[in-house]
């Protein structure tokens, strides 16, 4: 018993010595703890910045449910090094230099953020003073403190309004830079990137809805990026300042324990966080798909109306919408429970612990701190409490900013997917699902090789294969030669590659072999079966893609345009529609035949060296067709015509006849002979159709004769 009590008294003595040692060296311990806190915050920032946080390892793939694949692998969306690489690439576009407008806005934004923190610190101290003057019952002091409170409200409100204004300006500036960069590549005419808008949707499978990405996703990305700066930089800065100030008031020990608690709960929260970045990217993708289905309904409204396809279209739309709702509900639920858990930890758990810390100077005599009266104690408590609330709010916002960062990762993935795909396409690297025959050995070789293209006055193909973007070899080796003035007729069964030849001539499809000699694209004008009518005035329809200024520069007047329209018997449309400056949705205002005539008027206005006519007269009467062909010939336009109408044959000198099996014949066209053969063929075909009926009638008669005989 004696031994035991002597042991206890020795332990007590040791403990006392330890406390004494601590009290004597407390300033050094305090300094050590503050440095440790600083290191901790820096490590945490580096942790987030390098994407090595727990959530980053749990990045989900966007394409797990639908589309969005790169190289056959699903695209990952997470706050990881891939995200930072993508982001830094985009940042170089949106903030092109330190002297740019965006850098200046960022600088102003940062200064205002620091100024606001300084105001908050002053307000925390003032709050304490107001309550202290109340407790001490000093009315004059109380009055002056309230006056200070009112005065500080002026720069405080001014700063807040400026902050949100500059943040919005920053988002707009980012959006403008990014939209200009993307549209520049999408519609720019700079060699390899030429006709990107065509290639991205026709030659590549990766981007399903570029329109949604350019209009919606870039806007969301810009707002998210502008907000992330305030949502991450400001709380981190606040966390430093408030916690440093708090540790000065209550001692660094409380701060140390609070930090350990916060770190523990942060790790737990992050481990339990759903992958919000992937959810954001998926939402954008689903909305894009829904919008695309809607725009198809608008575009083909007439066809669908005649086919009475409402039910099917409704089902398609409902399916798309159902997909969005399923996803949104899932995300909503995930956000709900995550929000509950997060608020309980951040607001209530940290809050109660913080109150305990604020009470330390009231209940304990801290070594080196002199005792104080009720007023000082109250002032200290109120100030510390405010600092603590602001500090834990900052810490909470750093936590919340993880979600913002994940949202940003989602939008960044969408925007960089578009930009990376465009870069790939610029280098001729397309990703399209190939048909089975493309994997045959000879076709694999063919798809890997490239042909040569030379600019020339005439059109000459030497052993050029016609291959569709999904690897279907339509013609293995095509050779023909068309000189200026030699009109070429192209015939063959459906899907044999007639229009595909034009796509090669227009530089849209890849030349996989042989040699192509062709004039530059500006020397061609295409009239398809359903001609394109642009948004704009009636005049714009004739002169497209020229502007009115370009038309005037080349010396053409509205009178000249009227004469051109009279050639296709369309001059009445000017008066009917209210003049050349009338603006309509011309696609709906003109009939099918009128649209074709308008396209012919455009041909006569531009007067190119070559005209590609792809069933371009299918909807106009034969006499009109003859007049248009004659006028084109008179203007010296060389015609490359696809038509099933025998009446057109007589205008052509050469014929390229596909057999539909990969073979073809290219020869001179003896129009008269061909016409006679065609007519005879048609007569025989009509007669052949009668044969089954005649046979049936014969059988009936034979039976009747047999019956009568019995
Ligand atoms: N963007 C594309 N991607 C993949 N395949 C395509 C694409 N465009 C056309 N094709 C395919 O190329 C083949 C040839 O098409 P093309 O338009 O040249 O036929 P065509 O001979 O003009 O037929 P039609 O007389 O019916 O107009 C078709 O099988 C078509 O499906």
Q: What is the pLDDT of residue 370?
A: 61
Please tell me the predicted confidence (pLDDT) of residue 59.
43
More confident residue, 210 or 398: 210
Structural domain boundaries, residue 577: 534-589
Q: Which residues contact 638 (CB under 8 A, 6 or more apart)?
A: 482, 484, 485, 486, 487, 488, 609, 610, 611
Mean pLDDT over 63-70 rounds to 40
According to DSSP, the residues that pair with 455 across neighbouring strands are 518
Most confident of 233-247, 292-306, 575-589: 575-589
Q: How far is the CA of 505 from the centre of ligand 1 (A)?
A: 15
Statement: residue 349 has pLDDT above 60: yes
Task: For residues 123 and 94, state if they share a domain.
Answer: yes
- Candidates 345, 360, 351; CA nearest to 391 is 351
User: 308-322: per-residue pLDDT in tens?
Assistant: 888 888 899 999 999
Residue 297: count other Cβ atoms within 10 Å of its Cβ: 16
Residues with CB under 6 A from ligand 1: 202, 468-470, 474, 494-500
Output the domain CATH number for residue 652: 3.40.50.300
Please give the pLDDT value at position 299.
Answer: 80
Q: Hey, which of 201, 498, 528, 658 would you mutate to test ligand 1's pocket, going by the most ligand atoms within 8 Å of its Cβ?
A: 498
Q: Tens of pLDDT along 84-131?
A: 899 999 999 999 988 899 999 999 988 998 898 888 888 888 888 888
- In this predicted model, what pLDDT tens digit does every residue of 657-707 receive, in sequence order? 998 888 899 988 875 566 666 666 677 777 788 888 888 888 888 888 887
Partners of 655 in the β-ladder: 489, 667
By the 10 Å C-beta count (0-12 exposed, 13-18 middle, 19+ buried), 513 is classed as buried
As a whole number, mean pLDDT of residues 438-453 equals 82
Do 487 and 382 have their domain in common? Answer: no
Co-location of 529 and 543 in the same domain: no
On whether both 280 and 339 belong to a single domain, the answer is yes
Which residues lie closer than 8 Å to 334 by C-beta, 6 or more apart? 274, 276, 279
Note the pLDDT tens digit of each residue in 573-622.
999 999 999 998 898 889 989 999 999 999 999 999 999 999 998 888 88
193, pLDDT greater than 60: no
The count of C-alpha atoms lying within 13 angstroms of the C-alpha of 308, restricted to the half-sphere facing its C-beta, is 0
Percent of the chain with pLDDT over 70: 89
What stretch of H or E contains 320?
A: helix 310-343
Question: Which of 239, 231, 266 shows the shortest CA–CA distance to 406?
Answer: 231
Between the CA of 474 and the centroid of ligand 1 the distance, in Å, is 9
Q: Is residue 333 part of a domain?
A: yes
Q: Are 38 and 239 in contact (CB under 8 A)?
A: no
For ligand 1, pick from 466, 493, 500 the residue to mutate: most ligand atoms within 8 Å of CB: 500
pLDDT digits (tens, 9 = 90+) for 496-549: 889 999 999 988 898 999 999 999 888 999 998 889 998 889 999 999 999 999
Q: Does residue 690 share a domain with residue 542?
A: no
The predicted model scores a pTM of 0.70
Look at residue 438 and tell me if it is in a domain.
no
* Residues 348, 280 within the same domain: yes
Q: What percent of the chain has pLDDT over 90?
A: 31
Residue 431 lies in a domain: no
CA of 637 to the centre of ligand 1 (A): 26
* Residue 494 located in a structural domain: yes
- Note whether residue 108 is domain-resident: yes
Q: How much is the pLDDT for 139? A: 86
Count: domains in the chain:
5
Mutation test residue for ligand 1: of 499, 504, 613, the one with most atoms within 8 Å of CB: 499
Q: Tell whether 307 and 243 lie within a shared domain.
A: yes
**How far apart, in whole angstroms, are the C-alpha atoms of residue 581 and residue 574?**
9
pLDDT at 675: 61
Considering the domain architecture, whether residues 317 and 233 belong to the same structural domain is answered as yes
Q: What is the pLDDT of residue 588?
A: 82
Q: Which of 11, 669, 55 is nearest to 402 (CA)?
A: 55
Mutation choice for ligand 1 from 199, 202, 466, 468, CB with most ligand atoms inside 8 A = 468
Residues 405, 343 within the same domain? yes
pLDDT at 70: 42
Q: Confirm whether 54 is domain-assigned.
A: no
Report pLDDT digits (tens) over 136-160. 888 888 899 999 989 998 998 899 8
In a domain, 55, yes or no: no
Q: How far is the CA of 500 from the centre of ligand 1 (A)?
A: 6
Q: What are 250-272's pLDDT values in tens digits?
A: 677 777 777 777 777 777 777 77
Higher pLDDT, 73 or 307: 307
User: So what's the pLDDT on residue 365?
Assistant: 67
- pLDDT number for residue 66: 39
Q: Do both 212 and 306 map to the same domain? A: yes
Q: How far is the CA of 452 from the centre of ligand 1 (A)?
A: 23
The reply to whether 18 falls in a domain is: yes
503 Cα nearest atom in ligand 1: 18
Ligand 1 centroid to residue 668 C-alpha, Å: 26
Q: Which residues contact 19 (CB under 8 A, 6 or more apart)?
A: none
Strands 664-668 and 654-658, bridge-based pairing = antiparallel
Residues 20 and 77 reside in one and the same domain? no
Task: Identify whether residues 202 and 308 lie together within a single domain.
Answer: yes
| Distance (Å, whole) CA 11 – CA 408 | 57
pLDDT: is 242 or 144 the higher one?
Answer: 144
């Amino acid at each position: 018993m004696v031994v035991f009590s002597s042991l206890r008294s020795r332990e007590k003595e040791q403990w006392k010595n330890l406390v004494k040692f601590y009290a004597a060296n407390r300033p050094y311990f305090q300094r050590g703890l503050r440095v440790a806190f600083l290191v901790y915050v820096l490590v945490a920032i580096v942790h987030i910045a390098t994407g090595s946080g727990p959530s980053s390892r749990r990045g989900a793939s966007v394409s797990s449910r639908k589309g969005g694949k790169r190289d056959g692998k699903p695209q990952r969306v997470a706050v990881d090094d891939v995200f930072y690489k993508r982001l830094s690439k985009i940042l170089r576009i949106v903030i092109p230099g330190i002297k740019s407008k965006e850098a200046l806005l960022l600088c102003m934004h940062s200064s205002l953020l620091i100024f606001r923190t300084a105001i908050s610190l002053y307000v925390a101290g003032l709050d304490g003073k107001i309550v202290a003057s109340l407790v001490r019952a000093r009315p004059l002091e109380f009055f002056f403190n309230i006056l200070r409170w009112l005065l500080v409200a002026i720069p405080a409100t001014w700063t807040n309004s400026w902050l949100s204004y500059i943040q919005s300006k920053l988002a707009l500036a980012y959006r403008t830079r990014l939209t200009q960069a993307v549209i520049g590549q999408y519609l720019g005419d700079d060699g390899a990137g030429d006709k990107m808008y065509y290639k991205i949707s026709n030659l590549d499978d990766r981007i399903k809805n570029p329109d949604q990405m350019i209009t919606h996703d870039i806007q969301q990305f810009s707002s998210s990026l502008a907000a992330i700066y305030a949502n991450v930089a400001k709380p981190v800065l606040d966390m430093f300042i408030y916690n440093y100030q708090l540790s000065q008031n209550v001692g660094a020990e409380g701060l140390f324990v609070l930090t350990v608690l916060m770190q523990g709960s942060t790790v737990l929260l992050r481990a339990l966080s759903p992958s919000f970045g992937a959810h954001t990217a998926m939402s954008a993708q689903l909305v894009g798909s829904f919008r695309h289905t809607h725009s198809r309904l608008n575009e083909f409204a007439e066809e669908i109306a005649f086919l009475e396809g409402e039910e099917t279209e409704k089902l398609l739309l409902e399916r798309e919408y159902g997909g969005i709702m399923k996803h949104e509900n899932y995300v909503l639920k995930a956000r709900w429970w995550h929000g509950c858990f997060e608020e309980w930890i951040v607001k209530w758990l940290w809050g109660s612990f913080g109150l305990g810390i604020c009470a330390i100077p009231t209940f304990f005599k801290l070594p080196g701190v002199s005792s104080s009266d009720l007023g000082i104690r109250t002032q200290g408590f109120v100030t510390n409490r405010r600092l603590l609330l602001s500090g834990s709010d900052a810490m909470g916002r750093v936590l919340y900013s993880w979600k913002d960062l994940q949202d940003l990762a989602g939008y960044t993935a969408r925007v960089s997917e578009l930009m990376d795909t465009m870069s790939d396409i610029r280098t001729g690297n397309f990703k399209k699902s190939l048909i089975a025959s493309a994997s045959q050995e000879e076709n694999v070789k063919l798809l890997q090789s490239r042909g040569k293209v030379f600019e020339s006055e005439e059109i000459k193909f030497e052993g050029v294969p016609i291959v569709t973007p999904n690897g279907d070899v339509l013609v293995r080796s095509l050779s023909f030669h068309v000189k200026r003035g030699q009109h070429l007729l192209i015939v063959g069964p459906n899907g044999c590659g007639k229009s595909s030849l034009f796509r090669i001539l227009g530089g849209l499809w890849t030349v996989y072999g042989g040699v192509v000699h062709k004039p530059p694209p500006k020397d061609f004008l295409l009239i398809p079966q359903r001609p394109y009518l642009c948004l704009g005035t009636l005049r714009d329809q004739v002169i497209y893609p020229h502007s009115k200024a370009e038309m005037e520069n080349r010396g053409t007047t509205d009178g000249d345009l009227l004469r051109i329209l009279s050639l296709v018997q369309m001059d009445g449309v000017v008066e009917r529609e209210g003049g050349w400056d009338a603006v309509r949705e011309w696609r709906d205002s003109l009939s099918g035949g009128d649209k074709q005539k308008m396209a012919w008027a455009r041909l006569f206005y531009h007067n190119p060296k070559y005209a590609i006519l792809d069933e371009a007269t299918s909807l106009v009467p034969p006499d009109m067709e003859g007049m248009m062909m004659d006028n084109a010939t008179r203007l010296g336009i060389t015609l490359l015509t696809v038509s099933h109408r025998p009446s057109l044959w007589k205008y052509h000198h050469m014929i390229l006849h596909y057999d539909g099996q990969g073979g073809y014949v290219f020869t001179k066209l003896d129009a008269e002979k061909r016409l006679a053969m065609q007519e005879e063929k048609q007569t025989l075909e009509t007669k052949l159709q009668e044969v089954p009926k005649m046979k049936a009638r014969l059988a009936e008669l034979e039976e009747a004769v047999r019956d009568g005989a019995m």
